[in-house]
Amino acid sequence: MSRESLIDMSPTTLENAEGEAKELLTGAKASLGFLPNMYTYMANLPGVLDGYLSTYKSFRETSGFTPAEQETVFLTISRVNGCTYCTAAHSMIADKKSGVPADSLKALRDGGDLPDAKLDAVAKFTEVMVRSRGNPGKAAVDTFVSAGYGEKQVLGVVLAIACKTFSNYVNHLAGTPVDDVFAPYKVD
């Protein structure tokens, strides 16, 4: 299922891109082997795509989370924000690349409790951060820290929310169609 676009946006492709947009799209395709539909809409304002790529890379490299924890953060944000594109994309990454157990992936997609206590703590803290707009209360922070996380991971969740704000919001506006590679993980 695709979302209905909220504004008439045309994608910026490698064929019609110029300047910074062309550089960013060319680099993304070289890195990933394909050009995700989402990137073509972000490239309509290159600063959006650049901001997304920068925060994504920084989160992956500096947040202090394992790959499975990273996908837990990204999937939780995307689910709470109702981004069907990112939920599909990160479900595929969780399943095929990041080692998220199948039962945890199902719970993440459904918004349920995760059987893995560490991943559940990550999901719950991330959700309260999104829903509270970054004001989760001391008890939520203390619970997350008592699960074995620290300042670095708390700030990592903030970084991931910034990253997913770029992608989730653009996907809502554009009604971005899910790429074929993510299609087996589509959500309604």
If you average pLDDT over residues 61-86, what whole number do you get? 98
Residue reference for tokens 């997304």: 52
Q: Is the pLDDT of residue 179 over 90?
A: yes
**Predicted local distance difference test score (pLDDT) of residue 5:** 86
Assigned fold of 65-185:
AhpD-like (1.20.1290)
pLDDT at residue number 7: 87
Name the average pLDDT for the chain. 96
CA 175 to chain centre: 16
DSSP string, the chain: --PPPSS------TTT--HHHHHHHHHHHHHHSS--HHHHHHTTSHHHHHHHHHHHHHHHHHS---HHHHHHHHHHHHHHHT-HHHHHHHHHHHHHTS---HHHHHHHHHT---SSHHHHHHHHHHHHHHHTTS---HHHHHHHHHTT--HHHHHHHHHHHHHHHHHHHHHHHHTPPPPGGGGGG---
Q: Does residue 48 register a pLDDT over 50?
A: yes
In this structure, which amino acid lies at residue 142?
A: D
Residue 57 identity: K
Query: Residue 3: what pLDDT?
Result: 74
Measured CA to CA, the distance from residue 76 to residue 140 in angstroms comes to: 16
Which pLDDT does position 2 carry in this prediction?
A: 57
Distance CA 72, CA 111 (A): 11
Per-domain residue ranges of the chain: 65-185
| pTM, entire model | 0.95
How far apart CA 147 and CA 87 sit, in angstroms, is: 25
| C-beta of residue 180 within 8 angstroms of C-beta of residue 186 | no
- Tokens 């829903």 belong to residue: 131
For residue 63 the two structure tokens come to 């947040």
**Confidence (pLDDT) at 98:** 96
